[in-house]
Structure 1
Amino acid sequence: MKTVLITGCSSGFGLDTARHFLEQGWKVIATMRSPKPDLLPASDNLVILPLDVTDDVSVRNAIRAAGPIDVLVNNAGIGWLNALEGTPIDVAQAVFETNTLGTMRMVRAVLPQFRECGAGLIINVTSSVTMKPLPLLSVYTASKAAVNAFTESLALELAPLGIAVKIVLPGAAPDTSFGNNALALLTANGGFPNAYSDFANSVISAMRAPDMLKTLPSDVVDAVWQAATDPSAPMRIPAGADAVALA
């Protein structure tokens, strides 16, 4: 039985991915900042652990408690939608701390056991906006593009050790908790600057248009599953109709 550790399992893509791997008979280490055992079906193959990817001690404790794993899925992340001029520097720092440095922390923590085994797989979930940037997402896009570049370089240094690295690139999923949380964070920080509000509202309307290609949670689950189980899968795997079209 293989074991996967997934970050950010309290909602969205992470939660759905954890459910799928459980259904397929894997042992799942589902991590969340605030564990909620009732989110996932009770199973002898399920372990739920507290984990804050922005905290070094939390990361070390989670990896220690998880024990040996075969696959790490770096899914935890936060979204941010606003013009750069309307982005407080502390918000930009928080986005990078979670999306970029959080991924690096997790990889660094798991590498010793992967290196000792001479095997292991790391799957980093980024975003299709790194293939075709969109307005009002400059900070978020930069945080995910950094993970792409990090992953591609990391793959070269880990290949001689028998460790593989892949990227899953979800498209837009505006109606998920991730999208809703990004809008809530925007509101909490004062919304769009007046000079950008008309443009921003038109962009959001376009993103929510019924005829726009979108990504479903199942698309991301399928892409992560492919990355985890298909050795011939490419390094970059788009997830969702819009992401596939961009790729």
Structure 2
Amino acid sequence: MQTVLITGTSSGYGRETARHFHARGWNVIATMRTPHRGDLPDSDRLRVVGLDVTRPGSIDAALTAAGPVDVLVNNAGVPSIGVFEGTPMARVREVFETNTFGVMAVTQAVLPLFRERGSGVVVNVTSSVVLGHMPLSAVYKASKMAVEGFTASLALELEPFGVRAVTVEPGACLTTNFAGRATHGGSPDDLVPEPYAPWARKAMEAFAGQDLFTRESDVAETVWRAVHDTTGQLRFPAGPDAVRLAQAR
């Protein structure tokens, strides 16, 4: 029986992906900063483990508790929305610490096991912002584009050892409360300097008016497909809006 370790399973894509793999008979290590099972399955095949991807000690402890894993899904991330000029550099560093450096740190910790065994898959969850020109996402997009580049190069390094690295690119999902988490419960307007306000309002209206959105289940299903892919595909758009963006490229 294979085992997947998923970061950021307290809600959203990570939680749905944990459910998806568990329902298909896998062992699941569901990690999150503050461990709680919530509505995850109560099963001896699903363990909840504490993991803060920004803390090396937490990464080491989580991997020790997890034991051998076959697949790593780097899903943990923090959202960011707003005009770059109005985004404090402290916030920029916070976003990169989780979305980029956290992905790298957990991956680096797992790689020796995968390389020595000669198998394993690293799935890095990025975003459809990497597929198009998205407004109000400069910091977030930069953090995710960095992971895309990292994964593309990493895949080449790991190929001789039978280990794969891929990205899953979720579209816009209305049920993950991205904007609320990005503004800590406030409004995106709080991060928009006044000269940008008219443009920002139009950008948000255009986003709200789009005709396609992604469901959490779309992402879970795409992660599953990416793990089992045998074609050598590197990037997997997840959700109808992400697929449309990928096709437009």
TM-score (norm 1): 0.95
Tell me what 2:234 maps to: 235
Question: Is contact 1:133-1:141 (8 Å) kept?
Answer: no
Question: Is contact 2:12-2:175 (8 Å) kept?
Answer: no
Tell me what 1:114 maps to: 114
Shift of 1:39: 2.8
Aligned to 2:152, the other structure's residue is in SS state helix
Tell me what 1:104 maps to: 104
Query: Amino acid of the residue matched to residue 131 of structure 1?
Result: L
Kindly report which structure 2 residues correspond to 1:183-198, keeping only aligned pairs within 5 A, or say none. 183-184=183-184, 187=187, 190-198=190-198
Distance in 2 (alpha carbons) for counterparts of 1:157 and 1:185: 41
Tell me what 2:134 maps to: 134
Shift of 1:185: 6.0
Question: Is contact 1:174-1:180 (8 Å) kept?
Answer: no
Question: Is contact 1:121-1:163 (8 Å) kept?
Answer: yes
* More displaced 10-residue stretch of structure 1: 5-14 or 220-229: 220-229
Aligned to 2:38, the other structure's residue is in SS state helix
Q: Aligned-pair RMSD on alpha carbons?
A: 1.6
TM-score (norm 2): 0.94
Query: Amino acid of the residue matched to residue 238 of structure 2?
Result: A
Distance in 2 (alpha carbons) for counterparts of 1:36 and 1:68: 22
Shift of 1:218: 1.2
Kindly report which structure 2 residues correspond to 1:13-32, keeping only aligned pairs within 5 A, or say none. 13-32=13-32
Tell me what 2:203 maps to: 203
Instruction: Evaluate the alpha carbon distance shift between residue 91 and residue 186 of structure 1 in structure 2; reply closer, same or farther with a 3 A threshold.
Output: farther
Shift of 1:48: 0.5
Q: Are 1:53 and 2:53 matched, yes or no?
A: yes
Distance in 1 (alpha carbons) for counterparts of 2:172 and 2:123: 19
Distance in 1 (alpha carbons) for counterparts of 2:232 and 2:222: 10
Aligned to 1:52, the other structure's residue is in SS state coil
Question: Is contact 2:73-2:122 (8 Å) kept?
Answer: yes
Tell me what 2:243 maps to: 244
Q: Are 1:222 and 2:221 matched, yes or no?
A: yes
* More displaced 10-residue stretch of structure 1: 13-22 or 175-184: 175-184
Alignment coverage as a number of residue pairs: 246
Distance in 1 (alpha carbons) for counterparts of 2:242 and 2:188: 29
* More displaced 10-residue stretch of structure 1: 162-171 or 200-209: 200-209
Question: Is contact 1:35-1:49 (8 Å) kept?
Answer: yes
Tell me what 1:35 maps to: 35
Kindly report which structure 2 residues correspond to 1:174-189, keeping only aligned pairs within 5 A, or say none. 174-184=174-184, 187=187
Distance in 2 (alpha carbons) for counterparts of 1:10 and 1:154: 27
Deviations 1:32-80 (A, max 9, x none): 0001123312001011100000111111111111100000000001111
Query: Amino acid of the residue matched to residue 132 of structure 2?
Result: K
Matched-pair identity in %: 50
